[in-house]
Amino acid sequence: MKYILASIFSFILLSASAQQMASLKDLQKIMDEPGRIKVINFWATWCGPCIKELPYFDEIHRKNKNVSILLVSMDYDLDPNPEKVKRFIARKKILSPVVILTEENPSGWIDKIDKNWSGALPATIIIGASGKRKLIQGELKKDELEKYINEASQ
């Protein structure tokens, strides 16, 4: 019993401390890693449509082990204090890995993430096992996200 409690506790701790600060280079490294299908979602705590679609990403993280989800918070642009993001993740019980992108001057790096991305949130990049990338701008519905992931699996 003690053991179970301890593992639950460490699990909660782990997921609560899962938000890391990331530079553009860190993010690019993750995006370039070969292997599993990757879904990179750009969001912010202040973005209504982002919050609506976050549970869909989290559900895939829990259910589909062939897909790795990364939620990239863009909150730094308006608020450099990570506490708000941390509280949000805890409150919404989000289990997917979250990083906070800590870069100044978005005009200098939005194109480096994807030259077709306008910078509007939300935006999602799906990277197939072959490395092929697909950018989706705007809010995703659950079935749309599943469809894009299926396409990336082929």
Partner 1 sequence: MKLLFSWLVIGLISLSFTFKKGYDVGDLVTDFKLKNVDGKLVSLADYQNAKGFIIIFDCNTCPVSKAYNARILALGKKYPELGFPVILINPNSPELSEGDSYPAMVKYAKEKKYPFPYLYDESQETIRQFGATNTPHVFVLNKTSEGLRVAYIGAIDDNTRNASKASSHFVEDAVNDLLAGREVTTPKTKAIGCSVKLKNS
* Residues in touch with partner 1 (CB under 8 A): 44, 46-49, 74, 77-80, 104-108, 110-111, 117-122, 137-139
Q: Using the minimum distance from each CB to partner 1, give the nearer residue, 37 or 140.
A: 140
Angle, helices 2-16 vs 83-91, to 10°: value is 130
Minimum distance, C-beta of residue 9 to partner 1, in the bound complex (Å) = 35
Minimum distance, C-beta of residue 107 to partner 1, in the bound complex (Å) = 4
Q: Using the minimum distance from each CB to partner 1, give the nearer residue, 93 or 134.
A: 134
Instruction: Tell me how far apart the alpha carbons of residues 19 and 71 are, in angstroms, rounded to a whole number.
Output: 9
Contact residues for 75 (Cβ-Cβ < 8 A; gap 6+): 44, 45, 46, 82, 84, 85, 100
Instruction: Find out whether 19 and 99 touch, Cβ atoms under 8 Å.
Output: yes
Q: Using the minimum distance from each CB to partner 1, give the nearer residue, 77 or 146.
A: 77
Minimum distance, C-beta of residue 74 to partner 1, in the bound complex (Å) = 5
Backbone angles phi, psi at 100, to 5 degrees: -105, 120
Q: Using the minimum distance from each CB to partner 1, give the nearer residue, 28 or 45.
A: 45
Minimum distance, C-beta of residue 92 to partner 1, in the bound complex (Å) = 18
Residue 54 has which token pair?
Answer: 């976050």
